[in-house]
Amino acid sequence: MEGCVKLVWVVGLVVLLVSVARVDSAGECGKSTSPDAEAIKLAPCGSAAQDESASVSQSCCAQVKKMGQNPSCLCAVLLSNTAKMSGVDPKIAITIPKRCNLANRPVGYKCGPYTLP
């Protein structure tokens, strides 16, 4: 299983390189960064984004805290192609800010068909 997750992240990196080359306008995560590129930063959240009972690492929480300052970027990352390809379940991934006990998390933010708890 761990080997499969690593393979998915490698595929995600390839997607990242392709998507970064095409970024030319401001999006949810800024002018020079695509949601797919930002998704790579959430690699420490892999198991927590697939299994609600998995523990959330401190490194995952630190990245989510940074990204959560821009809820539209966090949402775009959670719904990105890279996240989907790596097996992220959006229904579980959106619970990570709460599971990290982030005080300033974007509670109630509408993220596609999901709402951040």
pLDDT tens string for the chain (117 positions)?
Answer: 565 544 445 344 334 444 444 444 468 888 768 899 899 999 999 999 999 999 999 999 999 999 888 999 999 998 999 999 999 999 999 999 999 999 888 888 888 898 888
Whether this prediction's pTM lies above 0.85 is answered by no
**Are β-strands 114-115 and 110-111 bridged in parallel, bridged antiparallel, or unpaired?**
antiparallel
Q: For residue 28, tell me if it sits in a domain.
A: no
Q: Into how many domains does the chain fold?
A: 1
- Provide the pLDDT for residue 28: 85
Region of 34 on the Ramachandran plot (φ > 0 left; ψ -120 to 50 alpha; else beta) = beta
Q: For residue 27, tell me if it sits in a domain.
A: no
CATH number of the domain enclosing 62: 1.10.110.10
Residues with Cβ within 8 Å of residue 116, at least 6 apart in sequence: 71, 75, 94, 97, 98, 105, 106, 107, 108, 109
Q: Name the residue range of residue 70's domain.
A: 34-115
CB of 35 closer than 8 Å to CB of 71: no
